[in-house]
Amino acid sequence: MTDKPSSDKPWGGRFTESTDAFVEAFTASVTFDQRLYRYDIEGSRAHARMLARVGVITAEERDTILAGLDAIEKQIEAGEFEWSVSLEDVHMNIEARLTALVGEAGKKLHTGRSRNDQVATDLRLYLRDQIDATCAELLRLQTGLLELAEREADTIMPGFTHLQVAMPVTFGHHMLAWFENLQRDRERLMESRRRVNVMPLGAAALAGTSFPIDRHYTAELLGFDAPAENSLDAVSDRDFVIEFCSHAALVLTHLSRFSEELILWASAQFDFIDLPDRFCTGSSIMPQKKNPDVPELVRGKTGRVTGNLMSMLMLMKGQPLAYNKDNQEDKEPLFDSVDTLLGCLRAFADMVPALQVKNNNMRQAAASGYSTATDLADYLVRKGVAFRDAHEIVGTAVRLGIDSGRDLAEMELAELQSLSPAIGEDVFDVLTLEGSVSARNHFGGTAPQQVREAIVRAKQRLT
């Protein structure tokens, strides 16, 4: 047992012995939830103003409380606030300090609320800001992708399926594919923000309060769209945390896939791009090495954020209504997902516009993998050959090219005509890389003209 009397706790009146020292440390959350201090103070300010408005406290008491909260905020930001594990969490630490500063008025602040609705409110205020910060970084990365796509709208590279050369595409078109992934990510986050922006405050422990509170006024002060409809749901819901963790895992899954491409492209075997030195490191033993550490770390960090999502799902799966102590475990996965996601997005937003593209190497790779085979099949179909027959003819041509070490465009006209009389002199127009990408000149296609038009539309979607 500790030698601290139970009356030191704001909830200690019912207890006859002090909390065990280990249990006190084991159940405390202040070591990690203190980062919510700004939102806790913001919520307390609004609650004090509401209590004064409805006559539960006087205007003088309100002003005393607000002055005390201002002083506490300054102490915390100056690093002068002493956090106490014995006071368990950010809420009780601030409330105890407020009472010490302003006396009796500080004890009245908690009227009509509970730590249950208080922490749910703090989390929603916090997450609302983090969603805005995440969307801003996504927007910055998307803008960088558009800059890169515009710069390389004509650059030809091999498009891959199964990591095998499939058809030629433009590098700008490839970058726009990643833009679309991130656009969906940003839209999902903005949509979920509306569900985050609902106020639990006033639900108290679980059933509401007998005091004549004005929850709509408090919601207005805090910038919430509305107060939560049901008090039980208000204090026990963590869907909004799970939803953010899900979105974070999906964003990082996209960045991880993008990272894999950058790592491959930067390798000596591909040699498609050069990553700026400031985003790479060297080897302690091999002086020639230039390691793509940023994309590798992003690829690795994706696992921990996916793990955070699993933690949240398992945390909530067995909880009855309403609040349970289990929910103290919601913060560390959320905080880690926020920090990891923002860090990865910042790194990518800085790195992507600075990529150096090796146009000639990409072109050579596209020219060496029979990437225009489909164009030859389409050519034959336009000449009246059934597609399945055209497919077989082109497959034979590719086999001939493999055996002789030549690409389709390097073959003699007579060789191609021996495979099908439908082939004419105009066949070489479709066997060039430029002819192939330019032929895909439709909405959503890889033709440079379509890439530039897509960039214009994409810029409009960012506004």
CA distance 248 to 254: 10
Residues forming the active site: 162, 283
Dihedral class, residue 113 (left if φ above 0, else alpha if ψ from -120 to 50, else beta): beta
Helix, strand or coil, per DSSP, at residue 267: coil
At 416, phi and psi to the nearest 5? -70, -40
Cβ pair 231, 207 in contact under 8 A: yes
Tell me if 441 sits within 8 A of 452, measured CB to CB: no
Assigned token pair, 202: 């006033």
For 57-96, give one letter per residue: b (16+ CB within 10 A) or e.
Answer: beeebbebbbebbeebbeebeeeebebeebbbbbbbbbbb
Chain mean position to CA 425: 52
Rounded CA separation 1/15 (Å)? 13
What is the C-alpha to C-alpha distance for residues 133 and 12, in angstroms, rounded to an integer? 40
- CB count within 10 Å of CB 178 equals 21
Q: Nearest CA to 209 among 58, 66, 54, 93?
A: 54
How far from 367 is each of 156, 262, 356, 372, CA to CA, in Å?
10, 21, 21, 8
C-alpha–C-alpha distance, residues 167 and 219, integer Å: 55
